[in-house]
């Protein structure tokens, strides 16, 4: 049974996370020696040319033959309580003896047994089993799972394993080839192909407002069980982690960019968790068209500038934004001197900072220009 208790449908968007069950770097302190540290000489390399083609000249076959051995199946399970208060004395099952199971995908990025998957594939699991393509099965240890970016790192006790090559998701362009490998609906080692439909999809656009990721959108077919599996480019490099689909659409899937996933995985390996800076606002993209529509409304409480920017719709109490004097209705236009043309631009500016850093913001408030400096706090773990 695939994705039994791990699949979640969120709100009216029909978004499904396909497995069990926001984002900047921690302060860059010198990391202590770590036996799980990854040899990233290959991971840090620039994007490579396409793999040598097989005899039939198919680059998809070449990519799958090179990377497919490093794609794994993850079976996760947990015990849950039941409603029998007598622990089975009167014929019912004993309390806490029911086991819920789900499955997803993952990929090995270090030959000494480190693999990436989605956090929602392994969150809450009491037991994680990892099955390789060649049939070998290992018990997995979850080193950390970050729900804000939906990235997790799992360790298995094995050496000399096949690994994927990590690409550069910052260089993606809509229209490029996209290849998904995973285990949808229990069908192991399934390959689908499509294109990169869009990049930088904000969490609000995707329908997961509690995440802080600029998602990759793809029309490569992904289904429950694909979650945590790799999305490859034409060169056979991993460019994303397949994460969610729109259940109310066709050919609308989303992946966490590999640059984001790699950064979070590094933090998890070094510290056991990821740390994220908090600004403390809810925002929407502002365009001249949106502003004009608002301003034509005689009941509108405020007049909006007919520009592009990030419109603040709520300021969280006791947040860094509140302490800096940011108000509902403010329009953020620059961050540290860089133009802000949308809510996702402001999110990206925050993600580039570390907890405790200061962020200089220019904003418009009732047509008046203002400048504020915000000292970013840390998003609580819960």
CA 161 to chain centre: 25
Active site residue 157: no
Q: What percentage of residues in the chain have a pLDDT greater than 70?
A: 80
CATH number of 7-82+94-271: 2.40.10.120
Can you read off the two tokens belonging to residue 275?
């740390």
Angle at 221 (CA atoms; ends 215, 227), nearest 5 degrees: 60
For 68-97, the pLDDT digits (tens) are: 999 999 999 988 766 555 555 556 555 556
Report CA dihedral (245, 249, 251, 254) to the nearest 10 degrees.
-30
- Which of these is catalytic: 120, 147, 203, 344? 120
CA distance 342 to 364: 14
Q: What is the mean pLDDT of residues 41-68?
A: 68
- DSSP letter at 198 equals E
Active site residue 150: yes
Where are the domain boundaries for CATH 2.40.10.120 in the chain? Answer: 7-82+94-271
φ/ψ of residue 344, rounded to 5: -65, -30
Could you tell me where the DSSP H helices lie in 224-257?
none
Helix (H, G, I), strand (E, B) or coil at 375: strand
Q: What is the mean pLDDT of residues 100-121?
A: 95
User: What's the pTM?
Assistant: 0.76
The β-bridge partners of 178 are: 194
Length of the chain: 382
Q: What is the mean pLDDT of residues 154-169?
A: 97
Where are the domain boundaries for CATH 2.30.42.10 in the chain? Answer: 277-378
CA distance 350 to 6: 30
* 4 has a pLDDT exceeding 50: no
Helix (H, G, I), strand (E, B) or coil at 278: strand
Active site residue 227: yes
* 179 has a pLDDT exceeding 60: yes
For 18-53, the pLDDT digits (tens) are: 544 432 222 222 333 333 333 433 333 444 555 666
**Other beta carbons within 10 Å of 238:** 29
CATH class as words, domain 277-378 = mainly beta
Average pLDDT over all residues of the chain: 83
* 309 has a pLDDT exceeding 70: yes
Helix (H, G, I), strand (E, B) or coil at 194: strand
**Better-scored residue on pLDDT, 267 or 37:** 267
Per-residue pLDDT at 370: 96
- Which of these is catalytic: 227, 275, 342, 344? 227
* 237 has a pLDDT exceeding 80: yes
- Which of these is catalytic: 110, 146, 150, 219? 150
**Other beta carbons within 10 Å of 298:** 5
* 252 has a pLDDT exceeding 90: yes
Distance, first Cα to last Cα, the chain: 29
Per-residue pLDDT at 41: 36
């Amino acid at each position: 049974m695939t994705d039994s208790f791990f699949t979640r449908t969120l709100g009216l968007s029909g978004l499904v996370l396909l497995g069990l069950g926001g984002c900047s770097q921690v302060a860059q302190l010198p990391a202590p020696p770590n036996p799980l540290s990854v040899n990233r000489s290959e991971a840090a390399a620039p994007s490579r040319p396409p793999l040598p083609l097989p005899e039939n000249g198919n680059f998809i076959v070449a990519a799958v033959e090179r990377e497919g051995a490093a794609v794994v199946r993850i079976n996760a399970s947990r015990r849950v309580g039941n409603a029998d208060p007598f622990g089975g004395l009167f014929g019912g099952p004993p309390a806490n003896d029911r086991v819920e199971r789900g499955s997803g995908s993952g990929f090995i990025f270090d030959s000494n047994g480190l693999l990436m998957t989605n956090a929602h594939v392994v969150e809450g699991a009491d037991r994680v089993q990892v099955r390789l393509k060649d049939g070998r099965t290992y018990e997995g240890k979850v080193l950390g799972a970050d729900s804000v970016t939906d990235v997790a790192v799992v360790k298995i006790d094995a050496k000399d394993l096949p690994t994927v090559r990590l690409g550069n998701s910052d260089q993606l362009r809509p229209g490029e080839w996209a290849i998904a490998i995973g285990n949808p609906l229990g069908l192991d080692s399934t390959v689908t192909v499509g294109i990169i439909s869009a990049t930088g999809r904000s969490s609000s656009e995707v329908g997961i407002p509690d995440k802080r990721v600029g998602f990759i959108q793809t029309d490569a077919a992904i289904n429950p069980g694909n979650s945590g599996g790799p999305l490859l480019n034409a060169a056979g490099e991993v460019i994303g982690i397949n994460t969610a689909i729109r259940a109310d659409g066709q050919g609308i899937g989303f992946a966490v960019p590999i640059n984001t996933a790699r950064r979070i995985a590094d933090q998890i390996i070094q510290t056991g968790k990821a740390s994220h800076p908090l600004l403390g606002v809810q925002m929407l993209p502002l365009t001249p068209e949106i502003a004009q529509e608002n301003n034509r409304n005689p009941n509108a409480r405020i007049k909006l500038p007919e520009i592009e920017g990030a419109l603040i719709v709520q300021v969280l109490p006791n947040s860094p934004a509140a302490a800096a004097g940011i108000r509902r209705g403010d329009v953020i236009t620059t961050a540290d001197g860089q133009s802000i043309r949308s809510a996702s631009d402001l999110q990206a500016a925050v993600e580039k900072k570390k907890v405790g850093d200061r962020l200089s913001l220019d904003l418009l408030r009732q047509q008046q220009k203002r400048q504020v400096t915000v000292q970013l706090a840390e998003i609580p773990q819960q």
